[in-house]
């Protein structure tokens, strides 16, 4: 299918045809991530200033990079789990309770554009009550192969709806897949949490954070908070430069930094299907344009407006950063310096070789 095709509804139908009992939308849990992350960033901006700049943590490729090569900067990482893990944790707690299911009988499978999510799902920190949040991860490429193997003709499937109560998403949740999208979505809700006012139009079409430049910078003025200087890091080569600057003590230039490992963000993820179209900047641009088009056409464009999210918080989590939210939706990190082994040099790749 053409790059940028919107296939959410067909994907739900395909997963039902494969035998899944319920299909939820990771864009919904991206909205949940924003509820937690925007609240956390606001708290850091107003109270815990030594944890600034705030680093996003939804990309496991980036999180592992930080743990391996910049463990001294881990305190800046948001403690929020990624949307995939928040979904798994919520399915095996709130959803199970609501449906009268034993969470131990639930098998949760994440469909992801991302190969790093496979490693993320195995992290010991990402589970609760003796269960992993996510049991299996299939990349979108593996899903495509599975559908072909089962003889399911994806293109001819009718659209189907995600299952309630974890199936509604806002425009903010959709743009998570594009570089800059996490920061844009976060700032929309951060503005609301700080002011109880809807974000201005400029933050709903925040052009400086969009596009495929390696490092983008933008400022948001939030009444009562001040100017929030934001950086968007597109790929880890640029990430290294920014992190070196911060390591040298440049702590005040930015207050919020989004890091995504793959070029263009998750739309360029390593698990995406290979296709007749060369993996090019043009293809990434088309995929990104489709996400922003969905955002623009969405009934609700900020995560806190998601009515299912409001219900989940009312019935289960209480409020962002509550004790229960911390248990299920937040995580911790591990200093992994020295834990990559380079088979060619016979040395840990992130430590200098011994003389």
Q: Are 159 and 24 in contact (CB under 8 A)?
A: no
Q: Contact between 116 and ligand SF4 (CB under 6 A)?
A: yes
Residue 122, CB-side half-sphere exposure with 13 Å CA sphere: 5
Distances (CA, A) of 297 to 7, 31, 150, 172: 16, 17, 34, 11
36 is catalytic: no
Question: Which one of the listed residues 37, 51, 184, 305 is annotated catalytic?
Answer: 37
344 is catalytic: no
Q: Contact between 23 and ligand SF4 (CB under 6 A)?
A: no
117 is catalytic: yes
Q: Are 95 and 354 in contact (CB under 8 A)?
A: no
Q: Contact between 114 and ligand SF4 (CB under 6 A)?
A: yes
Binding range to ligand SF4, per CB under 6 A, among 55-63, 122-130, 141-149, 163-171: 55-63
Which residues face 139 on adjacent strands? 112
- Tokens 């949040």 label which residue? 133
Smallest gap from Cβ 83 to ligand SF4, in A, equals 9
Choose between 168 and 258: whose C-beta lies nearer to ligand SF4: 258
Helices first, then strands: H and E counts in the chain: 14, 10
Q: Contact between 88 and ligand SF4 (CB under 6 A)?
A: no
- Angle, CA of 25, 58 and 269, to the nearest 5°: 75
Smallest gap from Cβ 237 to ligand SF4, in A, equals 14
List of residues 6+ apart from 131 with CB closer than 8 A: 92, 103, 104
Q: Contact between 34 and ligand SF4 (CB under 6 A)?
A: no
258 is catalytic: no
Candidate list 262, 288, 290, 329; residue touching ligand SF4; CB under 6 A: 262
Smallest gap from Cβ 26 to ligand SF4, in A, equals 11
Candidate list 83, 88, 239, 265; residue touching ligand SF4; CB under 6 A: 265
Q: Are 152 and 95 in contact (CB under 8 A)?
A: no
The residues that touch ligand SF4, with contacts defined as CB under 6 A, are: 59-62, 113-114, 116, 260-262, 265-266, 269
Residues marked active site are found at: 37, 40, 58, 78, 117, 120, 125, 266
């Amino acid at each position: 299918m053409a790059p940028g095709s919107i296939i959410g509804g067909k994907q739900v139908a395909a997963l039902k045809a494969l035998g899944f009992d319920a299909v939820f939308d990771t864009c919904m849990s991206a909205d949940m991530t924003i509820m937690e992350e925007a609240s956390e960033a606001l708290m850091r901006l107003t109270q815990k200033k030594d944890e600034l700049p705030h680093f996003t943590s939804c990309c496991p490729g980036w999180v592992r990079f930080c743990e391996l090569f910049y463990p001294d900067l881990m305190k800046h990482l948001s403690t929020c789990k990624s949307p995939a893990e928040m979904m798994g944790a919520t399915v095996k707690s709130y959803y199970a309770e609501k449906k009268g299911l034993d969470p131990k009988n639930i098998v949760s499978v994440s469909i992801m554009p991302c190969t790093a999510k496979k490693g993320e799902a195995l992290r010991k920190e990402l589970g609760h009550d003796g269960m992993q949040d996510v049991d299996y991860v299939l990349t979108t490429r593996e899903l495509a192969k599975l559908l072909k193997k089962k003889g399911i003709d994806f293109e001819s499937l009718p659209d189907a709806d995600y299952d309630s109560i974890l199936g509604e998403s806002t425009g903010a949740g959709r743009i998570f897949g594009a570089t800059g999208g996490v920061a844009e979505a976060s700032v929309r809700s951060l503005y609301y949490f700080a002011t109880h006012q809807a974000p201005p139009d400029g933050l709903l079409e925040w052009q400086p954070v969009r596009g495929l430049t390696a490092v983008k910078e933008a400022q948001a003025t939030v009444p009562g908070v001040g100017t929030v200087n934001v950086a968007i890091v597109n790929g880890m080569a640029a990430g290294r430069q920014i992190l070196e600057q911060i390591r040298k003590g440049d702590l005040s230039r930015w207050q919020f930094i989004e890091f995504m490992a793959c070029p263009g963000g998750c739309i360029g993820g390593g698990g995406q299907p290979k296709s007749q179209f060369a993996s090019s900047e043009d293809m990434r641009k088309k995929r990104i344009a489709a996400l922003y088009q969905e955002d623009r056409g969405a009934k609700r464009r900020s995560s806190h407006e998601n009515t299912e999210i409001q219900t989940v918080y009312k019935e289960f989590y209480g409020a962002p950063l509550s004790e229960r939210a911390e248990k299920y939706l937040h995580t911790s990190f591990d200093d992994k310096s020295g834990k990559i082994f380079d088979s060619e040099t016979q040395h840990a790749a992130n430590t200098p070789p011994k003389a």
